[in-house]
Amino acid sequence: MLRTSFTSFTKNLNVTDLRWLQDDGFSLARMRIELLSGLTVALALVPEAVAFAFVAGVNPLVGLYAAFIVGLITALIGGRPGMISGATGALAVVMVALVAEHGVEYLFATVVLMGLLQIFAGVMQWGKFMRLVPHPVMLGFVNGLAIVIFLAQMSQFKVPGTIQNTGHGMGGGEWLSGGPLALMLALVALTMAIIWVTPRITRIVPAPLAGIGIVAAIVIVFGLDVPRVGDLASIKGGLPDWHIPMVPLTWETFQIILPYSIILAAIGLIESLLTLSLVGDITGKRGGASQECIAQGVANTVTGFFGGMGGCAMIGQSMINVKSGGRTRVAGIAAAVFLLLFILFASGIIELIPLAALVGVMFMVVIGTFAWNSLTILRKVPLTDAFVILLVTVVTVYADLAMAVVVGVIVSALAYAWNNARRIHAKTYITPEGARVYQVQGPLFFGSSDGFLEMFDVAGDPSEVIVDFADSRVVDQSALQAIETVAGKYEDLGKRIQLRHLSRDCHRLLTKAGHLMVDSDDDPDYALAVNYQVRTGVLGGGH
């Protein structure tokens, strides 16, 4: 199984990754768009990576190295060209407890194990289970995400040097007020206005890059006293070095890092696969879930050995990329390379960029990410779907993205089961031979088994009873038990029962469970008509 899955992945990887040069009519014009889009993303990555490193309680370079390595590897072999990956807040808030209690070396070991788990998930093709995420969950997810991105920018409106890591994010600190606050808001508004108007004038330069460049030029030329990237931390550094995590190779170490690795792997994959789906909706492409799982795993495994904090797909930066025109792997690769160049050679310049410009870019991402149409459809969709949209939004904001998706899927599944449980009923009639026929309508499963039992008038039925499943399906063990219970009641009164028109899979389910022994010439193509008798608790056949 593992070998087959991995072979399938490598074949798919060869086809998709060698074809990106032809995507979207690749040309010099396309190259320019991809490189400028990558530059825009790289500029937006810097403060995010630094902030998330602070949240996790590690050196800013640990976050920047993670953004570079994870971004580069996933751009090269990921499942969706156009996606951007790097250090994220969803992972950082989990890492902070591990770093505080055991130190950063345990974090590196955890990231390595996290990556291996994600590779395993990809090889097993578990990414396909994302198809179980209902549309209301996706709407709630993107709405909650937009709010989270918006709230994350609030720390930029505090006086630099006063912000503290609370263990749950960047908190504390003194808010800007008076003139500094007004100037900050004015620059944010100017950036948003430039981003809005630029596509209406020219598409030579991505709108977010134009906004950052013009506002940064104004601030530098006029020497405006506003918070800048350099106020967060210095981003100057060298190339990441190969580093084996300095932790004891003992069972105790494994017990410490395994729970964190599982949680981080799950959160990373859920966020990455949801981003994959969101980017796919914009670019019109599908598939690649298993490939993305493996790419994320490889990226995190490598990152752990180069002193990075790990990461996953970044929906905000991915939206910046696709809205700036990035459609191929070039944009993601360029973003990672530009980020490394900033660290090595251009830290002094990047540190001069005003945070207001980057906040303006992220605010435009918020506006573009929020599903505004969901506000109008809440009154039109079923009440359960409206509840799921609101629930997932709230949980995303107050807990985390992965928890919100899990909660949304569970609630949607329970609502679906409840609705189907109420559908079970039967039409009845008497045949010329005097037998009563029950035509079961609706699925028979754990939720509807009680309703199934209540349909039968065991005492009042004739000696011959036929249960017709042409419009029903036997789904699980609870359904099998319900059938056996009904048959037992008829047997106790000396009455005979037949099961008819079971579908192939239902018939196999009953036979596999040891409840049916088929010896019937009726419906020879499907063996659908089965006599049912109880003999020492076993369902027997022979029509």
| Tens digit of each residue's pLDDT (9 = 90 or more) over 43-101 | 989 988 887 888 788 999 999 999 999 999 999 999 889 899 999 888 887 898 899 99
**pLDDT for 287:** 76
**pLDDT for 540:** 35
For helices 355-369 and 315-323, give the axis angle rounded to 10 degrees.
Answer: 90
**pLDDT for 103:** 93
| pLDDT tens track for 118-165 | 999 999 998 888 788 888 998 998 898 889 888 888 888 988 765 555
State how far the Cα of 108 lies from the Cα of 246, in Å rounded to an integer.
9
Q: What beta strand segments (E) does 232-371 contain?
A: 312-313
Length of the chain, please?
543
Residue 482 in contact with residue 505, Cβ under 8 Å?
no
* Burial profile 48-80: b = 16 or more Cβ within 10 angstroms, e = fewer: bbbbbbbbbbbbbbbbbbbbbbbbbbbbbbbbb
Strand pairing class (436-441; 425-430): antiparallel
Q: Which CATH number fits domain 423-540: 3.30.750.24, 3.30.460.10, 3.20.20.70, 3.30.300.30?
A: 3.30.750.24
State how far the Cα of 247 lies from the Cα of 301, in Å rounded to an integer.
16
Neighbours of 371 (CB within 10 A): 16
> What is the pTM assigned to this prediction?
0.75
> Which residues does residue 441 pair with via DSSP β-bridges, in sequence order?
425, 471
Query: Phi first, then psi: what are they for 519, rounded to 5°?
Result: -145, 70
State how far the Cα of 69 lies from the Cα of 60, in Å rounded to an integer.
14
> Which residues does residue 531 pair with via DSSP β-bridges, in sequence order?
498
**pLDDT for 4:** 45
- CB under 8 Å to 432, separation ≥6 — which residues? none
> Which residues does residue 464 pair with via DSSP β-bridges, in sequence order?
496
Tell me the domain boundaries of the chain. Answer: 2-10+26-377, 423-540
**pLDDT for 20:** 46
State how far the Cα of 46 lies from the Cα of 314, in Å rounded to an integer.
13
Burial of 452 from C-beta contacts in 10 A (0-12 / 13-18 / 19+): buried
Could you say which residues of the chain have pLDDT below 50? 1-24, 166-169, 515-543
